[in-house]
């Protein structure tokens, strides 16, 4: 015979909590796996960007191919850090006060690069948005290095 048991809310909470703990343990990557994921994504990002730059000089569709590969390379590079700190923490740090503007500009320029290459078929705009994407991604990356942005600003102010 089957025995029917009534669950109280405490039993359900305990069951939900243990399910969450099991899911968290199953999705947690070891440090070695995180490093491998980071390196693979980062290298793929570099390869896509370099390959895109090499394709830039192909007559006709070269600029569109460059824009796509360069943008995909930036997505891979950005995703690589998610392996190190996790996706939620990555999103939180991307939206932090000191890098929110750079994040928005980078993502908007990435989308506009792809729009320029595919919908508008405007190679000049695609190249401009790639350059802006590069500058925003660089500014975003510098925000993780203490005083790096200040040093860049000081360097440029000395040159002008």
For 95-125, write each residue's pLDDT tens digit: 999 999 999 999 999 999 999 988 888 888 9
Q: What is residue 18's predicted lDDT score, i.e. its pLDDT?
A: 57
Q: Tell me the whole-structure pTM to 2 decimals.
A: 0.73
Which residues touch 37 (CB under 8 Å, ≥6 apart)?
A: 29, 80, 83
Helix and strand numbers, DSSP H then E, in the chain: 7, 0
Task: Measure the CA–CA gap between 132 and 152, rounded to whole angstroms.
Answer: 17
Which residue positions in the chain have pLDDT lower than 50?
1-13, 19-20, 23-24, 26
Q: Which residues contact 121 (CB under 8 A, 6 or more apart)?
A: 64
d(CA 81, CA 39): 9
Q: What is the rounded CA–CA span in Å between residue 66 and residue 61?
A: 9
By three-state DSSP, how is residue 35 classified?
Answer: helix
Contacts of 19 (CB under 8 A, 6+ apart): none
- Residue ranges of domains in the chain: 29-159
């Amino acid at each position: 015979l089957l025995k029917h048991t009534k669950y109280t809310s405490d039993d359900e909470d305990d069951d939900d909590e243990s399910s969450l703990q099991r899911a968290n343990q199953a999705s947690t990557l070891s440090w070695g796996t995180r490093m491998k994921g980071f390196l693979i994504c980062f290298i793929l990002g570099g390869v896509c960007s370099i390959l895109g730059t090499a394709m830039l000089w192909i007559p006709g569709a070269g600029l569109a191919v460059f824009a796509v590969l360069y943008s995909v390379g930036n997505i891979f590079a950005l995703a690589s850090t998610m392996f190190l700190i996790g996706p939620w923490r990555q999103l939180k740090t991307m939206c932090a006060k000191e890098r929110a503007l750079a994040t928005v500009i980078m993502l908007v320029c990435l989308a506009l690069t792809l729009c320029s290459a595919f919908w508008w078929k405007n190679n000049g705009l695609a190249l401009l948005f790639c350059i802006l994407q590069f500058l925003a991604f660089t500014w975003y990356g510098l925000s993780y290095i203490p005083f790096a942005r200040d040093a860049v600003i000081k360097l440029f102010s000395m040159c002008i």
